[in-house]
């Protein structure tokens, strides 16, 4: 299968998450040990179905709702903790009926055990996975980085990712079910061992419930913390992005080398540009022009740096603007060199490119500043970028004539992915 490199990375991440011991794995093992291989495999099937529900929830935006309303996330974790504690308690209680002198024919787990058959194992496993905080954390943190790609549609990408999740769950949890079921004959001959094994599973589930309850206690404050946004001039206050959305769409906070990965691809752009910057005229609609353009961004062969092509045939026929973005691994900052077919961006004395604007993203916002000239006047220019989700972005340009004390916004561009 010829997978996109991002899907290989996604497959690696999923493998690591599924392989990590947790309550899903404990439930599969407990089902197979207490009831048999069929119940264990039924539990695997239930978890696989729930895994697809997690994926669909992430695609349609349930994860966004959980971030926007932190109380919902805390309530989900508390409900999951209560459910897992009940399952663990039921397993522990069922083992207390085992007599120390029981014969080999006496079942170690008395009737009323929590996993009585394949149907019950399937539905309880699905419920366990749906309330698993690890799955929601994975959805919130990882899914936004992979679900949108210029190479294929969102639906095709979601199907590929769903297949990767299902295959990993089937292989890893299936192996756990086989190993746990293989231990049943040995356990059947040793009632005490069987009882203590079941108690161990029950204790593990109760411990997981405790961890979930702790997570619920800390989820709301962490999710409700406002994201920092840069200060702007009074003319662009309406451009600020809600902090919860900013938290959700952040895909590059951990490593600035990925700051501009979101921009790779083709975009349609709507522009609002000040006709006469630095003249004091900008308060009336007639002072601004509006037009549509196209933007296409590609990575350079090194796989890190990138270049774009900005054009608008209906606005200015033959005009092409270019921005070259270069990452410095030593300073962990980006340098943006902008120039166009009208000679802007070049030093008129040397024909060399003017110095770049420098900066990096903090969350989903970034300001890049540097020296420039406008009609022979030395100025400081600022490019502000804002990620508004996987398919939308905002760019704006501001000039300052007093070293950055005050700024005039003169170009606002809203990008929409094609």
pLDDT tens digits along 359-413: 999 989 999 999 998 888 999 999 999 999 889 999 999 999 999 999 999 999 9
Alpha helical stretches, state H, 250-363: none
Bigger pLDDT: 121 or 222? 121
Last residue of a domain, one of 157, 192, 224: 224
Average pLDDT along the chain: 75
For residues 209 and 95, membership in a common domain is answered with: yes
Bigger pLDDT: 68 or 232? 68
Q: Which two tokens stand for residue 49?
A: 């179905």
Greatest Cα pair distance, the chain, in angstroms, is 98
Bigger pLDDT: 242 or 13? 13
pLDDT at 167: 92
Say if 334 falls within a structural domain: yes
48-62: burial string, b at 16+ Cβ within 10 Å, e else? bbbbbebbebbbeee
Say if 229 falls within a structural domain: no
| The total number of structural domains that make up the chain | 2
Cβ count near 264 (within 10 Å) = 14
pLDDT at 253: 44
For residues 313 and 265, membership in a common domain is answered with: yes
For residues 124 and 14, membership in a common domain is answered with: yes
For residues 63 and 162, membership in a common domain is answered with: yes
For residues 185 and 243, membership in a common domain is answered with: no
Q: Are 268 and 414 in contact (CB under 8 A)?
A: no
DSSP state, residue 277: T
Q: Which of 177-186, 197-206, 237-246 has the highest mean pLDDT?
A: 177-186
For residues 378 and 396, membership in a common domain is answered with: yes
For residues 195 and 81, membership in a common domain is answered with: yes
For residues 29 and 146, membership in a common domain is answered with: yes
Give the integer Cα–Cα distance in Å for 146 and 156.
12
Give the integer Cα–Cα distance in Å for 24 and 336.
47
Say if 54 falls within a structural domain: yes
Last residue of a domain, one of 156, 191, 224: 224
Share of the chain above pLDDT 90, in %: 30
For residues 160 and 278, membership in a common domain is answered with: no
pLDDT band at 221 (very low <50, low <70, confident <90, very high): very low
- Domain range for 309 is 234-417
Last residue of a domain, one of 170, 202, 224: 224
For residues 211 and 289, membership in a common domain is answered with: no
pTM above 0.85, yes or no: no
User: Residue 392: which CATH number?
Assistant: 2.40.128.20
For residues 254 and 184, membership in a common domain is answered with: no
Q: Which two tokens stand for residue 38?
A: 């069929």
Q: Is the pLDDT of residue 351 over 80?
A: yes
Give the integer Cα–Cα distance in Å for 126 and 132.
10
For residues 239 and 218, membership in a common domain is answered with: no
């Amino acid at each position: 299968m010829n997978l996109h490199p991002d899907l290989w990375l996604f497959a690696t991440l999923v493998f690591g998450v599924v392989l990590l011991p947790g309550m899903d794995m404990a439930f599969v093992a407990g089902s197979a040990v207490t009831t048999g291989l069929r119940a264990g495999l039924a539990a695997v099937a239930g978890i696989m179905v729930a895994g697809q529900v997690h994926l669909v929830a992430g695609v349609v935006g349930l994860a966004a709702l959980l971030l926007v309303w932190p109380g919902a996330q805390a309530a989900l974790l508390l409900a999951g903790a209560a459910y897992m504690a009940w399952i663990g308690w039921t397993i522990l209680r069922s083992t207390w009926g085992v007599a120390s002198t029981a014969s080999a024919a006496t079942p170690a787990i008395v009737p009323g055990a929590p996993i009585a058959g394949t149907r019950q194992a399937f539905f309880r496993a699905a419920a366990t996975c749906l309330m698993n905080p690890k799955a929601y954390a994975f959805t919130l943190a990882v899914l936004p980085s992979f679900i949108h790609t210029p190479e294929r549609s969102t639906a095709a990408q979601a199907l590929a990712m769903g297949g990767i999740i299902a295959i990993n769950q089937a292989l890893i949890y299936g192996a756990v079910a086989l190993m746990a079921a293989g231990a049943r004959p040995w356990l059947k001959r040793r009632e005490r061992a069987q009882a203590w094994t079941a108690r161990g599973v029950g204790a593990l589930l109760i411990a997981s419930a405790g961890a979930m309850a702790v997570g619920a206690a800390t989820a709301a404050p962490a999710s409700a913390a406002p994201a920092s946004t840069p200060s702007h001039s009074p003319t662009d206050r309406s451009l600020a992005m809600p902090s919860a959305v900013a938290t959700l769409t952040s895909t590059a906070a951990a490593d600035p080398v990925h700051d501009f990965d979101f921009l790779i691809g083709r975009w349609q752009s709507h522009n609002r540009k000040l006709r006469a910057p630095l003249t004091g005229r900008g308060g009336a609609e007639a002072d601004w022009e509006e037009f549509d353009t196209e933007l296409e961004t590609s990575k350079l062969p090194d796989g890190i740096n990138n270049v774009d092509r900005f054009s608008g045939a209906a606005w200015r026929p033959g005009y092409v603007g270019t921005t070259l973005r270069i990452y410095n691994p030593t300073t962990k900052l980006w340098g943006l060199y902008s120039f166009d077919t009208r000679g802007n961006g070049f030093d008129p004395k040397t024909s060399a490119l003017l110095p770049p604007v420098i900066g990096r993203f903090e969350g989903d916002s970034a300001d890049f500043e540097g020296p420039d000239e406008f009609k022979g006047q030395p100025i400081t220019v600022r490019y502000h970028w804002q990620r508004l989700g996987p398919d939308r972005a905002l760019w704006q340009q501001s000039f300052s004539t007093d070293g950055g004390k005050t700024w005039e916004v003169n170009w606002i561009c809203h990008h929409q992915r094609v």
